[in-house]
């Protein structure tokens, strides 16, 4: 089962061949997730709104690309987690619509359009593509795919109850110029702008497949931590050496990256909760705190460990470590 970044260039849909990779999640599970969300929404409409046979629309945008500067490449892309949970799609600047009622629902994916490149020019810059509308629908197990600018003319019952996340409206992205006018088309007096609460109810219960992916993410970060500790000993003079080593140990494991920018803090800097400078001198008797994680098939691990850079705890350091360990075990 494949996950693919999809693009629309001019009037065509383009799928980047280089971005084929397994999600680790079977395609039918993404469909089951959408079905479960729809069931929650239906139950909410019946029990909380006291209505039946009511049309509804669930609207969820993806993340956008962040560019490092004009005419240069972009930062590594991180998909919006709820969007990925429902689609398995890594497309930036997309919108997912689930339209339904008591009896049925449809899944519609709106993908971004870029008219600045011809097919040939785009492939010269980014590599070979696949162009097949039906194939995109098959890959993501969805009913229909459209260019993003057709969101404004997409037909739905105007009295549909709208479910969306209010915080996305403030995003200054390509989504905003299409998404905000689209949301204003809803005339229903019933609007729920806390879609996240429904999604996180679902996401709090992990399938067996998800559990296995999370275990693998934890096993991978454990290897990265052990190898980082082994290779960062008393001759390590600066925090950035440890940060660089940890990133290396994560990425050398395969299709793995750091789940977030790590905290590498020596001495008293470990008391700064979100310390991220990671560039200060390490003294020979310092304790090192590393807070890091691995991202494996979009599932993240998060681990914090403390160790003496010279390989031995001093009596005071050992006492502090044992106190913290005792507290952690009791929690």
Phi-psi region of 298 (alpha: psi -120 to 50; beta: other; left: phi over 0): left
Q: What is the pLDDT of residue 4?
A: 45
DSSP 35-94: HHHHHHHHHHHHHTS--SS--EEEEEE-----BSSTTSPBPPP---HHHHHHH----SS-
Record the pTM: 0.87
Q: What is the pLDDT of residue 56?
A: 94
- Rounded CA separation 159/50 (Å): 16
Structural domains in the chain, CATH included, are 2-203 (3.40.350.10), 217-330 (3.90.230.10)
Q: What is the pLDDT of residue 294?
A: 97
pLDDT tens for the chain, residues 1 to 331: 444 444 444 445 555 555 545 688 999 999 999 999 999 999 999 888 777 668 999 999 998 878 787 766 778 888 899 999 999 998 888 899 999 999 999 999 998 766 566 767 777 776 766 667 888 888 889 999 998 889 988 988 878 899 998 877 666 665 667 788 888 888 766 788 889 999 999 999 999 999 999 999 999 999 999 999 999 988 899 999 999 999 999 999 998 999 999 999 999 999 999 899 999 999 999 999 999 999 999 999 999 999 999 999 999 999 999 999 999 899 8
Q: What is the pLDDT of residue 233?
A: 86
Task: Tell me phi and psi for residue 115, to 5 degrees.
Answer: -100, 10
Q: What is the pLDDT of residue 114?
A: 60
Neighbours of 324 (CB within 10 A): 11
Spatial CA neighbour of 228 closest among 291, 148, 182: 291
Q: What is the pLDDT of residue 16?
A: 57
- Rounded CA separation 297/300 (Å): 8
- Rounded CA separation 293/220 (Å): 9
Q: What is the pLDDT of residue 1?
A: 46
- Rounded CA separation 49/70 (Å): 48
Q: What is the pLDDT of residue 3?
A: 47
Residue ranges in the chain assigned as alpha helix (H): 27-47, 81-87, 119-126, 133-140, 174-183, 195-203, 208-231, 239-251, 315-330
Q: What is the pLDDT of residue 277?
A: 95
Spatial CA neighbour of 290 closest among 225, 221, 236, 223: 225
Task: Tell me phi and psi for residue 227, to 5 degrees.
Answer: -70, -35
Whole-angstrom CA distances from 158 to 54, 71, 140, 162, 226 are 11, 41, 27, 10, 57
Q: What is the pLDDT of residue 124?
A: 78
Q: What is the pLDDT of residue 74?
A: 77
Spatial CA neighbour of 6 closest among 103, 171, 131: 131
Q: What is the pLDDT of residue 181?
A: 82
Interstrand relation of 299-300 and 263-266 (parallel, antiparallel or unpaired): unpaired
Q: What is the pLDDT of residue 259?
A: 96
Structural tokens at position 20: 């084929």
8 Å CB contact between 83 and 96: yes
DSSP 141-177: T-SEEEEGGGGGG----TTPEEE-BGGGGG--SHHHH
- Rounded CA separation 247/252 (Å): 9
């Amino acid at each position: 089962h494949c996950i693919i970044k999809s693009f629309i260039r001019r009037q065509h849909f383009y799928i980047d061949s280089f971005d084929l990779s397994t999600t680790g999640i079977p395609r039918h599970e993404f469909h089951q997730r959408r079905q479960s969300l729809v069931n929650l929404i239906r139950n909410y409409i019946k029990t909380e709104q006291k209505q039946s046979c009511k049309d509804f629309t669930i609207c969820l945008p993806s993340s956008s690309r962040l560019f490092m500067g004009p005419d240069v490449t972009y930062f590594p892309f991180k998909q919006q987690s709820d969007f990925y949970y429902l689609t398995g799609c890594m497309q930036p600047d997309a919108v997912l619509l689930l339209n339904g009622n008591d009896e049925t629902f449809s899944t519609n994916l709106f993908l971004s359009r870029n008219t600045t490149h011809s097919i040939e020019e785009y492939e010269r810059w980014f590599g070979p593509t696949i162009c097949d509308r039906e194939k995109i629908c098959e890959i993501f197990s969805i009913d229909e795919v459209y260019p993003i600018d057709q969101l404004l003319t997409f037909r739905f019952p105007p009295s549909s109850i709208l479910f969306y996340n209010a915080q996305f409206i403030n995003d200054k992205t390509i989504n905003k110029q299409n998404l905000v006018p689209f949301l204003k088309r809803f005339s229903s007096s019933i609007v729920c702008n806390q879609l996240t609460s429904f999604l996180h109810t679902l996401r709090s219960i992990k399938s067996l497949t998800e559990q296995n992916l999370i275990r693998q993410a934890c096993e991978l970060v454990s290897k990265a931590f052990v190898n980082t500790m082994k290779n960062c000993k008393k001759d390590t003079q600066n925090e950035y050496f440890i940060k660089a080593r940890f990133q290396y140990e994560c990425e050398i494991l395969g299709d793995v990256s750091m789940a977030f920018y790590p905290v590498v803090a020596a001495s008293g800097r470990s008391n700064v909760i979100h310390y991220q400078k990671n560039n200060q001198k390490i003294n020979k008797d310092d304790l090192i705190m590393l807070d890091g994680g691995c991202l494996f098939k979009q599932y993240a691990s998060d681990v914090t460990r403390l160790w003496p850079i010279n390989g031995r705890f001093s009596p005071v350091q050992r006492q502090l470590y044992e106190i913290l360990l005792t507290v952690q075990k009791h929690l």
